[in-house]
Amino acid sequence: MKKRTKKTTKNQNLKNPSYKFYYWLTGIILLLALVFFFRTTFTMYYFIIKGKFEEREYGYKNLEKLRPESEALKIHSIINRYRSHAIGIDISQHQGNIAWDSVKYIKNDIPISFVFVRATRGAYVQDAFFRKNWTNLKNKNLLRGAYHYYDVNRNSTDQAENFIKTVTLEKGDLPPVLDIEELPKNQSLELLKKGITNWLHLIEKQYQVKPIIYSNDAYFIHHIADMDLTEYPIWVANYNPRNSPKHSRWSFWQFSEKGIIKGITSNFVDINIFNGNTNQLEKLTIK
């Protein structure tokens, strides 16, 4: 019997109508699969890119829904009262990635004059977004300042060293800030005051400028009222509907923690007023 070769079998199969049908059907299915794959990939890529642009605006609108109307009215009232003053914000890693090209105004017509950025917390922690925010602020030519969140249960010298190794201040920057908000659990209030004084002295020695001290009205009044802070600029927080904070000698007033700024969509933003205009604020900067 004559042996059938593979070539002979293939040629015969090609002449078979049934084989031709399945051959072309397979080709069409493969072609459709390729078209579907590339179309799906393109569509996904398109919506990912599109979503990155829409996400900012979408998040901005969501924050407006989350903020009470009473807070929006309070912000409007205070800003109108202090229109001639320099107004700014303060941020930390809680605001996430910021679209700095969009960060320009408060209420669409009040320019942002200054931004304070959290640099460090306690003895060892650096803010995850500090370096990125710090560099972007320099590129935007906005007055910038760095602050340290004070851990009331940690060594003050270690905390000062954490800030110093993290923050390099330049001419035109605002003075460093000590943010003190809590009461100690592991030490007395008197020891806390000594720690605060130590931190302030170490930072002043390093940067050759008096640091700014931040806290809320109640803390200044009830816990550190007997400290001699007359030479230090005071940054006070008071979110109650008021014409001004209770502290009689304030340089900055943080009057709301629910500001909405275009370009910052991950969270609300603290809004602050400087007790003077932009020219007066510049006199406070490092020379």
Of 90, 127, 179, 217, which is the active-site residue?
Answer: 90
Of 55, 57, 101, 181, which is the active-site residue?
Answer: 181
Which whole-number Å values give the CA distances from 90 to 35, 114, 254, in the listed order? 50, 8, 9
Is residue 284 a contact partner of residue 266, using CB atoms and an 8 Å limit? no
Distance CA 48, CA 36 (A): 18
The residue with tokens 């932009």 is 278
* Nearest residue to 176 (alpha-carbon basis) of 158, 161, 164: 164
Distance CA 113, CA 278 (A): 7
Q: Does residue 69 carry a catalytic annotation?
A: no
Q: Does residue 161 carry a catalytic annotation?
A: no
Which whole-number Å values give the CA distances from 281 to 236, 262, 276, 277, in the listed order? 16, 24, 7, 6
Active site residues: 90, 181
